[in-house]
Structure 1
Amino acid sequence: MNAESNKMKMDLVKAVESWAISQPDLVALYFEERAITYKDLNIKANRMANGLQGLGVERGDRVAIMLPNIPEFVYSFVGILKLGAVAVPFNTLYKGGEIRHILRDSGAKVLIALTNFAPMINEIRSELPALEQVILTGERNLIFAHPESTAFIQLIVPIDLISDVDAAYEKMGHILLDIVKEFGVENAWYKHRGSVRVGGDKIATFVISEVETVRVINVVLFLAAMDTRDFLRVVWVPPEIRDKVVEPLTSVEQEAGKRPSWKEVKTTVTDALKREFEIEIKEGAMVRDELFGYEKLCSLAGKVR
């Protein structure tokens, strides 16, 4: 690293830290209509730096970043620079051989990547002697839903009911895990944020988001086998990345031998949410625009079969 690039590195870190002190509420990043301040950015970058340091990363070590344009990329990049380590970002569209070449050539000690890249990384990890740690974060997958094979439930609650989003994810994950087990899938597990799995296959998924003054919890439970190829005829995804955006799926019927009815799912899920979040749930209905959009999607899917 030459003197000029080293100066740029120091300037970036100093700039973030300076703005975090002088104007902490100034917006540093916008992501999906969410504003992230310099204070938040600096806190997250410090956490990343401390975490990497705890894993043994030192000045001059290479840390690879395989993330798309999400806030975690920025937190990671700045955190790496804070340690004096070297960031090695690369394209998330790369395949196994390309990833192996970059990681081996750079001598990366740590790799930060999306959770859904884990299977691909595991396939080549034995060929990367320098790679000591893999840090997984987030998921950027397409979530498919179909009235014949999935149950989709949306819960809208006041924002003050869920002040700690991380804790809410943990609670919601275990609620969904208990529900899946109640339907007979005993070997299900929850560890990755936002998804319940059987082995490496996803059987249920959820996301908690903020919209103005409310929190929205969207839950998708896979009840029966679903062929995602029908959806890929409607939602275009470049062939070279389909294996990255479409995760292996399983379902309650495939794992337990029986598909629960929508009424069973609805009752079980709402009762669990009422009990765990200590709230009353009132049933809602699709508004006109939502219903039109849903019917339009079904119509498109019907035309391409």
Structure 2
Amino acid sequence: MASKSSSEAHTFSWLIMEQVLVLYLTNLQARAGFVSQNSYKYGFFSAAIKVPSGYTSGVVIAFYMSNAEMFPHAHDEIDFELLGHQRRREWILQTNIYGNGSVHTGREEKFRLWFDPTQQFHQYSIIWNHNHTVFLVDNVPIREVIYRQTTFTSYPLKPMSVYCTIWDGSEWATRGGKYPVNYNYAPFVTNLRDMELAGCSWDSKKGEAVCSNSGEGGASSLDPVGGQDFVKLSEEQNLGMQELRKRFMIYSYCKDKNRYKVLPPECRA
């Protein structure tokens, strides 16, 4: 992994302690983050994260994939975003996905967490392949986006890098910007470990993906790109996901008729 700034004016505050990456947000001009050295075209991407405790309104911790630097006007993105709150335990988990710069159509879904994310590490994972994108928390799927060319025209299909960041989202993150970051409570410290980036790395010179896990005999069930365990959820996983969504999902763009008079096509599929 390599550190990366979205602006030369930004300063980074991070260190590695006993295989744990520690990220600090200290003021409005500072943010911290990591980006993978490789880009990937499909795979399994995961990190264990422990978020700051205390007053964290406006703080955003993101584990996500993006190619905004390669395709600034038509970029793809797959997001986990943990949104801080004025109370210690009330972090909100937001997921989002879009392709080809379709940022005008927000595809957010938000969840209340069923655990205290400040006390222990929890695993946030993305499965991304030609069949679907799955968001998982502690290996339990919470959202599946199935790729259908006819109904999901903004599915991410271009190679992306993997990012971990902490930053100031005062304008929108907590109650629509009602509660901005209060730097009297800084520094805001988040910890990451157990990162796994498994998939087809992108060879920019050849313009093709290099997939080391698929042998001549075909993909094994554990192949993170084409394996059966990754391209389709089991019946048990589907049932568990639906139950979790019923209990903990608090917002879905597919149900927001005030925002979308005509729902996006994938919501009507």
TM-score, scaled relative to structure 2: 0.26
Whose helix proportion is higher, 1 or 2?
1
TM-score, scaled relative to structure 1: 0.24
